[in-house]
Copies of this chain bind each other. A is one copy, B any other.
Amino acid sequence: MTLESFFQQVRPSIETALDGALPSEDRSPPVLHQAMRYSVFAGGKRLRPALCLAGFQAFDPEWRSALPVAASIEMVHTYSLIHDDLPAMDDDDYRRGRPSCHKRFGEATAILAGDALLTLAFETVAGAGGLAPERLLGAARMLAASAGTVDGMIGGQVLDIQATASGIDGAALESIHRAKTGALLAASVSIGAYLAAADTARLEDVTRFGRSIGLAFQIVDDMLDETVPVEALGKTPGKDREQGKATYPAVHGMEASRRMVERLTADAMEHVRPLGSAGALLADFARHLERRAR
């Protein structure tokens, strides 16, 4: 299967799973459910749930049983975007070409909509059914750890806030990027493989794959912030540099950043080579993410 046909197959199902999991806009309190849906259905590419399903299908063709968990990963991702955009955090007025959640619904509602998506994510994993309870508990643990404070998303966000481009070395920057963005991306594909009962060695391959594409993804994000105009980026461009943020282009330069992405992508593809043809889709995924940088 090509990656394009995989996307065409899974994306509508991911949308349906998200739509089914989120309370409708007329449920009380309406403004809260509107805010949650505003941010979840903002045209995101669903990369994380698609990665989860790709990790699953490498070991089990019945990827539909992983849909609730895949949707929950997108909820965690969306909550993190809402909270990151808050005035006390990155203070971003735009997200995906529209006013960010707090600009549209106010700060209190945005904070609570983020909290609600995080809460609903775990409710959705716990209520998934169709998979062994121990597997769902394991998926919840992996998701929480990747979103958490120790080498996870929240920890990375705190380190990122503290860091500035002038006062950071390459190793510290790598740790931040691996935690802030890499952990949830890596967990997405690992959770998929774990839910499909991949054995320990193969799960380790997939986890290494996830770590490589996770770091590459954030480096590409840094590069896009430098080069892409606002219409295409959907958020305020050049803001990282303006705010003195610690980014790969700021610390290593654009050309070295590009080479690192190439190397990480090659590493990722190498990690899934032992899976044979079952890993081909994941390898294509790595190449697809690299291509964003061009």
Contact = CB atoms under 8 A, between A and B. Distances in A.
B148 A126 contact: no
A100 to B, nearest CB: 14
Interface string A102-117: 0000111101101110
A144 B122 contact: yes
Contacts of A154: 32, 112, 115-116, 119
A42 interface: no
A133 interface: yes
Given A29-B158, A88-B107, A23 B149 contact: yes
A152 B51 CA distance: 32
Contacts of A89: 108, 111
Contacts of A140: 122-123, 125-126, 140
A228 interface: no
A149 B108 contact: no
Count copies of this chain in the complex: 2
Given A119-B154, A126-B141, A134-B133, A159 B28 contact: yes
A149 B29 contact: yes
Contacts of A112: 83, 154, 157-158
19 contacts: A23-B149, A27-B149, A28-B159, A31-B162, A32-B155, A32-B158, A33-B149, A83-B111, A83-B115, A88-B107, A112-B158, A115-B115, A118-B118, A119-B152, A120-B149, A123-B140, A126-B138, A133-B137, A136-B137
Interface of A: 23, 27-29, 31-33, 36, 79, 83, 86, 88-89, 106-109, 111-112, 114-116, 118-120, 122-123, 125-127, 132-134, 136-138, 140-141, 144-145, 147-150, 152, 154-155, 157-159, 161-162
